[in-house]
Amino acid sequence: MSKVRVRFAPSPTGGLHLGGVRTVLFNYLFAKKQGGDFIVRIEDTDQTRFVAGAEDYIFNCLKWCGMEPDESPVHGGPYAPYRQSERKELYRKYAEQLVNDGFAYYAFDTQEELEKMRNYFKSVENPSPQYDGKVRMQMKNSLTLTAEEVKKLLSENARHVVRIKMPEGETISFTDMIHHEVSFDSSLVDDKVLLKADGMPTYHLAVVVDDHLMKITHAFRGEEWLSSAPVHVLLWKYLFGLEHMPQWAHLPLIMGPSGKLSKRDGAKYGFPVFAMNWVDPKTNELTEGFKERGFLPEAFTNLLAVLGWNDGTEQELYSMEELIANFSIDRVHAAGAKFDFEKAKWFNHEWIKKLEVESYQSIVKDIFETKGIIIDDDAYFTKVLDLVKERCHLLTDFYNQAVFFYMAPTAYDEASVKTKWDSEKHNFFTALITRYQNVGEWKRDTLENEFKNLATEKNIKVGELQMIFRVMLVGSKMGPGVFVIAETIGSAKTINRIEKALAVFSLY
RNA sequence: GCCGCGUUGGUCAAGGGGUUAAGACGCCUCCCUUUCACGGAGGAAUCACGGGUUCGAAUCCCGUACGUGGUACCA
The span from the CA of A346 to the CA of A338, in Å, is 16
Going by C-alpha positions, the residue among A467, A235, A489, A266 that lies closest to residue A384 is A489
Tell me the pairing of strands A218-222 and A5-8. parallel
Q: Does residue A53 sit in helix, strand or coil? A: coil
* Under-50 pLDDT residues of chain A: none
- The region, left, alpha or beta by phi > 0 then psi within -120 to 50, assigned to residue A476 is beta
What pLDDT, in 10s, does the model give residues A148-182? 999 999 999 999 999 999 999 899 999 999 999 99
Catalytic residues of A: 263
What pLDDT, in 10s, does the model give residues A267-306? 888 999 999 999 999 899 999 999 999 999 999 999 999 9
Residue type, A477: K
Beta bridge pairs of residue A195: A162, A201
What pLDDT was estimated at residue A197?
95
> How many CB atoms neighbour CB A126 within 10 A?
10
What pLDDT was estimated at residue A1?
52
pTM of the model: 0.95
Nucleotide nearest to A478 (CA to C1'): B36
The span from the CA of A325 to the CA of A322, in Å, is 5
What pLDDT was estimated at residue A231?
98
**SS3 readout for A441-484:** CCCHHHHHHHHHHHHHHHCCCHHHHHHHHHHHHHCCCCCCCHHH
Nucleotide nearest to A84 (CA to C1'): B75
**ipTM associated with this complex:** 0.95
Q: What does residue A23 show for φ and ψ, rounded to 5 degrees?
A: -60, -45
Going by C-alpha positions, the residue among A416, A431, A417 that lies closest to residue A499 is A431
CA of A335 to C1' of B7 (A): 8
Contact A163, A141 (CB under 8 A): yes
DSSP state letters, A392-454: -SSTTHHHHHHGGGTS--SS--HHHHHTT--HHHHHHHHHHHHHHHT-SS--HHHHHHHHHHH
The span from the CA of A51 to the CA of A350, in Å, is 36
- Helix then strand then coil, in percent of chain A rounded to 5, is 50, 10, 40
Beta bridge pairs of residue A332: A309
Going by C-alpha positions, the residue among A473, A455, A453 that lies closest to residue A463 is A455
What pLDDT was estimated at residue A260?
80
What pLDDT was estimated at residue A155?
96
Strand B contact nucleotides, protein CB < 7 Å: 1-8, 10-15, 22-26, 34-38, 67-75
Q: What rounded mean pLDDT belongs to chain A?
A: 95
Nucleotide nearest to A466 (CA to C1'): B34
